[in-house]
Structure 1
Amino acid sequence: MKNKILILMGILALYSCQNKNESKNIIKTIVQDTLSKTIGGTADLSDAPPRDDKAVELIRKQLNVLLKKDLPAMTKDDRSFYYEEFDLNNDKKNEYFVGFSNSYFCGSGGCSGYILNNDGSVINHFSVTDFPIYVMTSSSEKFYDLIFESGGKFHYLKMKNGKYPSNPSVQEVYKEQIPKESTKVLSITDKKFVKYSF
């Protein structure tokens, strides 16, 4: 009987060790898969924390200056923004698309927002738009052309005299299919964007 118990304990010990090795192998496989996807650029990083705290601080400071007169009328919930970086003019410095999604900045026609330079200066303030914004591969004045949605229609915006038009709804209607090679920015409803306060 003692031999049977010892054999049974031995089998259980071996099985237990085998399960530990399998767990280690599973963990090792997951880590290797994640690393290879990250290096290959195919990992889903949408839940990753924002990588540029300096950009958040820069945008936060600029919004407090730009909206100084509005601040007393705004609630805590009104004082929030989303942002996404994109190099609009191929100068190796990202510009910042800043958008809002609350009742202070949004109405029946859409929401307002900003496009800021890398140093925080304003390229554009825009109104009555829905997100996302599409960055085209064509350009004007060395800045990519944009497509904004407003009132259920797409509108084509080109840089002119250093600015994009501020009211997309009165610009040329873009009647074609959005090109596959265009890039969506501020796709607030599609992605898990972090909301920042200012």
Structure 2
Amino acid sequence: MRRIFILIIGIAVLYSCRNKQTESNNIVKAIAQDTLSKTVAGTADVGDVSPKNDETVKLIQKQLKVLLKNDLKSMTNEDRYFYYEAFDLNNDKKDEYFVGFSNSYFCGSGGCSGYILNHDGSVINSFSVTDFPILVTTDSSEKFYNLLMKSGGLFHLVKMKNGKYPSNPSIEEKWKGEVPKESTKVLDIYEKKLEKYSF
């Protein structure tokens, strides 16, 4: 009788483990399908998809030390950090990098400064007076996606012109109407609590 009881418990434990494994596989499958459907629909949250790359961080750190060479002496340690997110702005299968700051050295009442860098670290352009996040739309100009950048509480449409995005979004065309649902948020520093890196 005791052997039968032990056998029944053993079968129950094995069955329970098998169900948990199947449940786990189903959860993984559901997450993968959800991510795929969001990517196809253009609603994927870019920050949740691509992990941060140490080589990219080093590339950005090196570039910031060059770009801000004259500022470094007057910056405190608290001023010397950045956030970044990768996004392929021109569908060339190579990410560009949005680099932003959120401290008093780079931010004022009108917003914050930042950069958009090519995949090799070269500067596409700098920007100023911008509130985060930045929205990447599905429309494009000169093969680069248009951006919606918030300045002074209003979104402005920022388009690539002669190989550069304008550096001051506050003087660009004000966006009228609802923000397109298919837009992707980048540099959502406050809501997503992005990791910060020193330079």
TM bracket (short chain) = 0.7 to 0.9
**Conserved 8 A contact 1:137-1:181:** yes
Match of 1:161 in 2: 162
Kept in 2, the 8 Å contact 1:114–1:122? The answer is yes
Which digits, 9 at most, give the CA deviation of each residue in 1:109-140, with x for residues without a partner? 11111000111111111011111111122222
Please, what is the CA RMSD of the aligned residues?
2.7
TM-aligned CA distance change 1:91 to 1:173, over 3 Å: same
Structure 2 spans left out of the alignment, 5+ residues: 39-44
> Contact (CA 8 Å) 2:134, 2:186: kept in 1 or not?
yes
The TM-score normalised by the length of structure 2 is 0.82
CA distance in 2, matches of 1:124, 1:48: 25
Answering whether residue 35 of structure 2 is matched by residue 41 of structure 1, we say: yes
- The 5 Å alignment of 1:1-198 reads 7=2, 11=5, 14-15=8-9, 18-19=12-13, 21-38=15-32, 41=35, 50-198=51-199
Distance 2:126 2:47 in 1: 27
Contact 2:46 2:185 in 1 (8 A): no
Per-residue CA deviations over 1:126-158 (Å, capped at 9, x if unaligned) read 011111111122222222211100111111111
Q: Does the CA contact (< 8 Å) of 1:47 and 1:192 recur in 2?
A: no
Contact 1:129/1:150 (CA < 8 Å) preserved in 2? yes
Task: Please say if residues 112 and 126 of structure 1, whose CA atoms lie closer than 8 Å, have aligned partners that are also in contact.
Answer: yes
Q: TM-score, normalised by structure 1?
A: 0.83
Judging changes above 3 Å, is the alpha-carbon distance between structure 1 residues 17 and 71 closer, same or farther for their aligned structure 2 residues?
farther
Rg larger in structure: 1
